Amino acid sequence: MQRIWAPWRMDYIRGLDGAEAAEDKGCIFCWKPREDPGQDEANLIVARRQHCFVIMNLYPYNNSHLMVVPYRHTCDFTSLSDDELLDCQQAVRDAVRAMEQSLQPQGWNIGLNLGKAGGAGIDQHLHWHVVPRWVGDTNFFPVLSDVKVISESMEDSWRRMRDAFARL
């Protein structure tokens, strides 16, 4: 029997994903980029731009699942300025380029989940998901046991994505 170890997922499974501690600080997408850039690895931020930043999803659907987040706290897509929207879309494009260089995915899931009804886990601060996909990357684990196997550590994924963004 093979064992799949993903101990970082236990907090998520138990529902203790740090939400209680994060509530004290406010919106996670607001306070993380305000911290010192020297904390970017701990905060999983791989790139900073003028109007947005790129952060790894702590509970990814696939290796190197990224999110592009405007600095401004808003859940209203139509409130984004032209400069914010352009910077965010260019960051999504750069995320695709970075992943193409470092991961060679065969496809993508890219998009926004707006509002609770739209599936947003953090519904008060909009963000784009950029998820690399490969043929066969889904298997019976998520269907039968609500488990997803992520084959690379968060630390290794962060370094890979940070370095790929730096090469752009």
132 close to 108: Cβ distance less than 8 angstroms: yes
Cα distances (Å, whole numbers) of residue 92 to 65, 111, 112 = 12, 9, 11
Q: Is 127 a catalytic residue?
A: yes
Task: Read off φ and ψ for residue 166, nearest 5 degrees.
Answer: -65, -30
Helix (H) or strand (E) holding 82: helix 82-102
DSSP 114-130: -SGGGT-SSTTS--EEE
Cα distances (Å, whole numbers) of residue 110 to 66, 67, 133, 153 = 10, 9, 10, 22
Kindly name the residue from 65, 73, 125, 127 that is annotated as catalytic: 127
Sheet holding 66-70, edge to edge: 45-48, 52-56, 66-70, 128-133, 107-112
Secondary structure percentages of the chain, helix, strand, coil, to 5? 45, 15, 40
Where do we find the tokens 């592009």? 68
**Residues known to be catalytic:** 127
